[in-house]
Chains A and B, each alone.
Chain A
Amino acid sequence: MAQIKIKNLRKDFGTFNAVKSSTFTIEDGEFFMLLGPSGCGKTTTLRMMAGLELPTSGEIYIDGEEVGQKPASKRDIAFVFQLFALYPHMNVGKNISYPLLSQGMPRDQVKKRVAEVAEILGITDILKRPVGGLSGGDRQRVALGRAIVREPKAFFMDEPLGALDAEFREHMSEELRALHNRMGATTVYVTHDQLEAMQMGDKIVVMNHGSVEQFGKPQEIYDWPATMFVANFLGSPSMNFLRFEGMLGTNKSSVEMNSIDFKIPTTLEGAKGKLALGIRPEHIKFSDKAQYRGEVLATEYLGTTQIVTLTTPNGDVKVRTDASGKIKTGEKIGLSFDPRTVTIFNAENGKALLSNANQGVFNRG
């Protein structure tokens, strides 16, 4: 199994810059998520790691060996495609055994391996079937079988659940995670679904417009986003931004917004001009004592919780609160923010200001 290191990776398609100078490290055995909206360069990054695209510049190390210009067939990596790409002219068993035949493995050994893998994935009874008539889930399992049969250095998956229906997706993501736990192989997984990324990943890289916005553990990224993009992309509903003009010095533990002082984690960095106070919907409490007030615009009932949308002097705010509370539209409610969870952003460049709460999470190189 392998550690994968990406250094200043860049890819241009003609004049279009798909990936800008990406740098991150995937540790051995990690389940690593490449997350971002479509067109952000995550799939291109994965394809460069796999050897299906050649990087314009930068380096890719697999187990310390630079492989950037090596052909895909020499990298010992398995890839699961979004549309599975099972060979349509072969049956299930042949599809799974195909990677082994390229290595010149003796037939009886191939048979044994295929049987083992089929056992793990529970597809022993369909080995003789052609791939044409299989259901989405079975296709997915066959594609996984073809990937794991060779025991490669790493697995790369490009939105492998994208082609499945919602119900089956959940089931398959559990299966995938269980498979990973059992085999402990380094896995790189591309997705645009933030929920999937947080559910399954050991670590997440968030990409946007070809560059890495942040990388770290799901909880760290969720709690302490490095940029407004990350804050907005993760979580549903996403983080609230209360925008204001103001000034913030270093070593301050409060910020003035609309002439009201809000407690915040002690700042290690100052800023002036357009700022935004970021807070997650679940960290806002309704409080009659609070000075800061908002007017209820709408409520959405979600079973155990409800999402209340309020309008405030600094923009709309969504609050996640207990479903039992009765809230009427038009009502004016005081809002109190949990000071330990606030992130202040510089709204000009979208970057979070360093504070003693998030400094441990960021590694701004």
Chain B
Amino acid sequence: MSSYSITEPSKRQKWVAGSLVIFYAVVTLMPLLWIIATGFKSPSDAIAYPPKVVFQPTLEGYVNLFTTRTRATPEMLVQAGEPKTWYDRIVRQYDMVIAGPSRYGERFLNSVIIGFGSTFFAIVLGTAAAYAFSRFRVPLKDDLLFFILSTRMMPPIAVAIPIFLMFRQLGLNDTHAGMILLYTAINLSLSIWLIHGFINEIPIEYEEAALLDGYTRFQAFYKVVLPQATTGIASTAIFCLIFAWNEYALAALLTSGTAQTAPPFIPTIIGTGGQDWPAVAAGATIFLLPVMIFTILLRKHLLRGITFGAVRK
């Protein structure tokens, strides 16, 4: 007999909790797994009915994602000679030749620049503002904080038209700077509020001790407050990045060429040469990776960050 404890859950409770977690994991992971699987299917397998769970994996989707192809006449195929690489071979099955790289690479790079760039600025500015709100006597502090939060209360798309007009006047349409500025502005309210909460939890005595130890205000902030706020900053950074990375509506409206991010680009794959679902799925899979990696890298902080302040140290 194991000893009885009121805090340790019973075996049955553990079973129930475990099955619930597994059920939830299956429900949330299913679409993700389906997308990843579809990326490795052939176009006919992708739309097969009933849906295929077991299939012959192929890299067709990925090849189609990264290349543009043209249908070739038999003469052209003869002229082109034997396919030289594995991706050439895949394309030849359909009597096509690779005409050049697709724009997915550029769009993906745009997403990286704009997503991480805006996260960086939202965090730097947000931390500075949050520190000031937390430590200094700011006139109308509560009103200002509420105002900052209120910018979050409407859907960003509500201001899309004014922003579009403003951006056109300022020459920011379809530029990296414009998109970084926009996402930074949207994320700032979130980052200020979250980090403000975290900094409030850090006793002011630590800074005062550092001041008395002969450090300047900035050194005290940099060497004493920041290391203790990393948890909060890291989790806030994840939230900011996820927003900027996934944002579709404004990106679709404000970018078209040079600064277009991956989200508005991926659907355009559908339109060129039939509904190429494997290519779309491949694009989505690759698109998922950076945020996934970023989140895994910071997950230690994230977990601590979400539960922070729930239990008094």
Whether A150 contacts B208 by the Cβ 8 Å rule is: no
Q: How many residue-residue contacts, CB under 8 A, span A and B?
A: 56
Contact bitstring B194-213, A, C-beta under 8 A = 1, else 0: 00000000010110111111
Which chain B residues lie closer than 8 Å to A72 at the CB level?
208, 211-212
* Complexed CA–CA distance, A99 and B215 (Å): 8
Instruction: Knowing A87-B224, A88-B228 are in contact, say whether A78-B212 is a contact too (CB < 8 A).
Output: yes
Question: Which residue from B203, B212, B219, B224 sits with its C-beta under 8 Å from A79?
Answer: B212
* Complexed CA–CA distance, A88 and B208 (Å): 14
Which chain B residues lie closer than 8 Å to A81 at the CB level?
205, 208-209
CB distance from A11 to the nearest CB of B (A): 14
Q: Is B271 an interface residue (CB 8 A)?
A: no
CB distance from B229 to the nearest CB of A (A): 11
- Ordered nearest first, which 3 A-B pairs have the shortest CB separation? A85-B205, A99-B213, A102-B214
Q: Is A52 an interface residue (CB 8 A)?
A: yes
Whether B214 contacts A99 by the Cβ 8 Å rule is: yes
Number of interface residues of B (CB under 8 A): 16
Which chain B residue has the least Cβ–Cβ distance from A80?
A: B209
In the complex, given contacts A71-B216, A79-B208, what are 10 additional A-B residue pairs having Cβ atoms less than 8 angstroms apart?
Answer: A50-B212, A51-B212, A72-B211, A73-B213, A73-B214, A87-B206, A99-B213, A103-B214, A146-B209, A150-B214
Q: Is B227 an interface residue (CB 8 A)?
A: yes
* Complexed CA–CA distance, A236 and B210 (Å): 39
* Complexed CA–CA distance, A85 and B224 (Å): 11
CB distance from B225 to the nearest CB of A (A): 10
Whether B213 contacts A71 by the Cβ 8 Å rule is: no
Which chain B residue has the least Cβ–Cβ distance from A50?
A: B212
CB distance from B65 to the nearest CB of A (A): 45
Whether B213 contacts A150 by the Cβ 8 Å rule is: yes
Which chain B residues lie closer than 8 Å to A71 at the CB level?
211, 216
Which chain A residues lie closer than 8 Å to B208 at the CB level?
52, 72, 79, 81, 85
Question: Which residue from B203, B212, B228 sits with its C-beta under 8 Å from A73?
Answer: B212
CB distance from B33 to the nearest CB of A (A): 40
CB distance from A50 to the nearest CB of B (A): 6
Which chain A residues lie closer than 8 Å to B213 at the CB level?
73, 78, 98-99, 102, 146, 150
* Complexed CA–CA distance, A330 and B10 (Å): 64
Whether B215 contacts A102 by the Cβ 8 Å rule is: yes
Which chain A residues lie closer than 8 Å to B216 at the CB level?
71, 73
Within 8 A of B (CB), among A75-104: 75-79, 81, 83, 85, 87-89, 98-99, 102-103
Which chain B residues lie closer than 8 Å to A98 at the CB level?
210, 213
Which chain A residues lie closer than 8 Å to B215 at the CB level?
73, 102
Which chain A residue has the least Cβ–Cβ distance from B227?
A: A89
* Complexed CA–CA distance, A72 and B215 (Å): 9
Whether A77 contacts B203 by the Cβ 8 Å rule is: no
A residues near B (Cβ < 8 Å) are 50-52, 71-73, 75-79, 81, 83, 85, 87-89, 98-99, 102-103, 146, 150
CB distance from A317 to the nearest CB of B (A): 44
Best-surrounded residue of B211, B214, B215, B224 (most CB of chain A within 10 A): B214
Jot down 19 A-B pairs with beta carbons below 8 A, ordered by A. Answer: A51-B211, A71-B211, A71-B216, A72-B208, A73-B214, A75-B212, A76-B214, A81-B205, A81-B209, A85-B203, A85-B206, A85-B209, A87-B210, A89-B228, A98-B210, A102-B215, A102-B219, A146-B213, A150-B214
Whether B206 contacts A77 by the Cβ 8 Å rule is: no
CB distance from B48 to the nearest CB of A (A): 56
CB distance from B271 to the nearest CB of A (A): 53
* Complexed CA–CA distance, A51 and B211 (Å): 9
Which chain B residues lie closer than 8 Å to A85 at the CB level?
203, 205-206, 208-209
Which chain A residues lie closer than 8 Å to B210 at the CB level?
87, 98
* Complexed CA–CA distance, A334 and B39 (Å): 104
Which chain A residues lie closer than 8 Å to B211 at the CB level?
51-52, 71-73
Which chain B residue has the least Cβ–Cβ distance from A104?
A: B214
Which chain A residue has the least Cβ–Cβ distance from B216?
A: A73
Which chain B residue has the least Cβ–Cβ distance from A71?
A: B211
CB distance from A186 to the nearest CB of B (A): 15
Which chain B residues lie closer than 8 Å to A75 at the CB level?
212
Whether A77 contacts B212 by the Cβ 8 Å rule is: yes
Which chain A residues lie closer than 8 Å to B206 at the CB level?
85, 87-88
Whether A87 contacts B212 by the Cβ 8 Å rule is: no
CB distance from A281 to the nearest CB of B (A): 39
CB distance from B92 to the nearest CB of A (A): 60
CB distance from A246 to the nearest CB of B (A): 51
Which chain B residues lie closer than 8 Å to A50 at the CB level?
212
Which chain B residue has the least Cβ–Cβ distance from A73?
A: B214
Best-surrounded residue of A76, A83, A85, A89 (most CB of chain B within 10 A): A85
CB distance from A95 to the nearest CB of B (A): 9
Contact bitstring B171-215, A, C-beta under 8 A = 1, else 0: 000000000000000000000000000000001011011111111
CB distance from A134 to the nearest CB of B (A): 14
Which chain A residues lie closer than 8 Å to B209 at the CB level?
79, 81, 85, 87, 146
CB distance from B232 to the nearest CB of A (A): 14
* Complexed CA–CA distance, A98 and B211 (Å): 11
CB distance from B203 to the nearest CB of A (A): 7
* Complexed CA–CA distance, A99 and B209 (Å): 9
* Complexed CA–CA distance, A350 and B224 (Å): 47
CB distance from B165 to the nearest CB of A (A): 44
* Complexed CA–CA distance, A59 and B219 (Å): 28
* Complexed CA–CA distance, A332 and B206 (Å): 59
Which chain B residue has the least Cβ–Cβ distance from A102?
A: B214
Which chain B residue has the least Cβ–Cβ distance from A98?
A: B213
CB distance from B304 to the nearest CB of A (A): 14
CB distance from B245 to the nearest CB of A (A): 30
Within 8 A of A (CB), among B278-308: none
CB distance from B5 to the nearest CB of A (A): 25
CB distance from A47 to the nearest CB of B (A): 8
* Complexed CA–CA distance, A79 and B206 (Å): 11
Which chain A residues lie closer than 8 Å to B214 at the CB level?
73, 76, 99, 102-103, 150
Which chain B residues lie closer than 8 Å to A89 at the CB level?
227-228
CB distance from B138 to the nearest CB of A (A): 14
Instruction: Knowing A88-B228, A89-B228 are in contact, say whether A83-B212 is a contact too (CB < 8 A).
Output: no
Which chain B residue has the least Cβ–Cβ distance from A88?
A: B228
